[in-house]
């Protein structure tokens, strides 16, 4: 069983760290073409996993309404975010993925839902949950390994603003799903109440106001973002189109030499 803190849980954590580290090493050594293959594959696997879980309810039904509602849950929104991060000019999307979504996904490896805890490590429930979240962590780490991305402090404020907009959207959606009531089963992204999340429970006791209590985390999250950005301050990012540009340049030079 995947009891939190148990042997299976610890081994899954170790295996996850090793797999991500090995894939990052490989990604740092291969050509830009294969780096793109690795990054796009991780995005595709993550999207398929979310579709399988929420659109088909692990292959048992076709439920588009549930899929739509689940987009207001932080980790499931990655179905939309992951492909957007592949757009070269969408730097804000990549910064949001790294600063917020990646760490939100990683936190679920420490404390996860009861249906995962009550399942075996090799069950479809556990593997689907684990792989979905691992891909969200893996994608930005592969981008860093490929030197296509680095966290930047100038994006901290925009990322925090995007987070605020997303959680506010989830808050309004939850109220609508609950029949325009603050009470009800829908509590996506924990905007109505902490839902047993250990870190959020004290905040709700301090400020028992739905959505507002989450704002207490902003100063701490902003500080953590800044420290992360500073850690990568000297990290050099490469233009992954350079090898192709150089190759084209060499071809042109060779053509000119032959003509002359």
Cα–Cα distance, 145 to 42 (Å, whole number): 14
Task: Considering only residues 47 and 252, tell me which one the structure prediction assigns the higher pLDDT.
Answer: 47
pLDDT, tens digit (0-9, with 9 covering 90-100), for 52-97: 999 998 888 999 999 999 999 999 999 999 999 999 999 999 999 9
pLDDT for the residue numbered 248: 42
Token duo for residue 16? 């996850």
Using an 8 Å Cβ cutoff, are 72 and 171 in contact? no
State the SS3 of 106-118: HHCCCCCCHHHHC
pLDDT, tens digit (0-9, with 9 covering 90-100), for 86-122: 999 999 999 999 999 999 999 999 988 888 999 999 9
Question: CA-based angle 226:231:236, to the nearest 5?
Answer: 115
Token duo for residue 101? 């979504």
Closest CA to 69 of 176, 206, 226: 176
- If pLDDT is split at 50, 70 and 90, which confidence band does 245 have? very low
pLDDT for the residue numbered 196: 80
Closest CA to 247 of 73, 97, 31, 12: 31
- If pLDDT is split at 50, 70 and 90, which confidence band does 140 have? very high
pLDDT for the residue numbered 253: 55
Domain ranges of the chain: 1-148, 151-234
- If pLDDT is split at 50, 70 and 90, which confidence band does 242 have? very low
**Rounded mean pLDDT, 203-227:** 95
pLDDT for the residue numbered 111: 84
Overall pTM surpassing 0.85 (yes/no): yes
């Amino acid at each position: 069983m995947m009891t939190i803190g148990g042997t299976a849980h610890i081994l899954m954590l170790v295996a996850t760290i090793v797999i991500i580290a090995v894939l990052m090493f490989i990604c740092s050594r291969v050509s830009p073409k294969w780096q793109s293959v690795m990054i796009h594959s991780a995005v595709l696997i993550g999207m398929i996993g979310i579709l399988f879980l929420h659109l088909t309810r692990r292959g048992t039904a076709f439920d588009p309404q549930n899929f739509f509602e689940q987009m207001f849950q932080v980790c499931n929104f990655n179905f939309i975010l992951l492909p957007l991060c592949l757009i070269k000019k969408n730097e804000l999307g990549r910064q949001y993925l790294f600063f917020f979504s990646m760490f939100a996904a990683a936190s679920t490896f420490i404390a996860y839902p009861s249906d995962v805890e009550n399942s075996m490590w090799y069950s479809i429930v556990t593997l689907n949950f684990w792989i979905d979240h691992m891909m969200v962590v893996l994608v930005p780490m592969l981008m860093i390994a490929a030197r296509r991305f680095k966290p930047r402090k100038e994006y901290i404020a925009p990322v925090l603003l995007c987070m605020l907009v997303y959680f506010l959207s989830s808050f309004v959606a939850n109220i609508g799903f609950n029949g325009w009531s603050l009470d009800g089963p829908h509590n996506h992204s924990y905007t109505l109440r902490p839902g047993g999340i250990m870190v959020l429970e004290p905040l709700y006791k301090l400020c028992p106001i739905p959505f507002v209590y989450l704002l207490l985390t902003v100063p701490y999250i902003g500080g953590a973002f800044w420290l992360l950005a500073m850690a990568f301050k000297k990290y050099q990012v490469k233009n992954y189109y350079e090898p192709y540009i150089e190759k084209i340049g060499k071809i042109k030079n060779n053509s000119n030499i032959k003509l002359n």
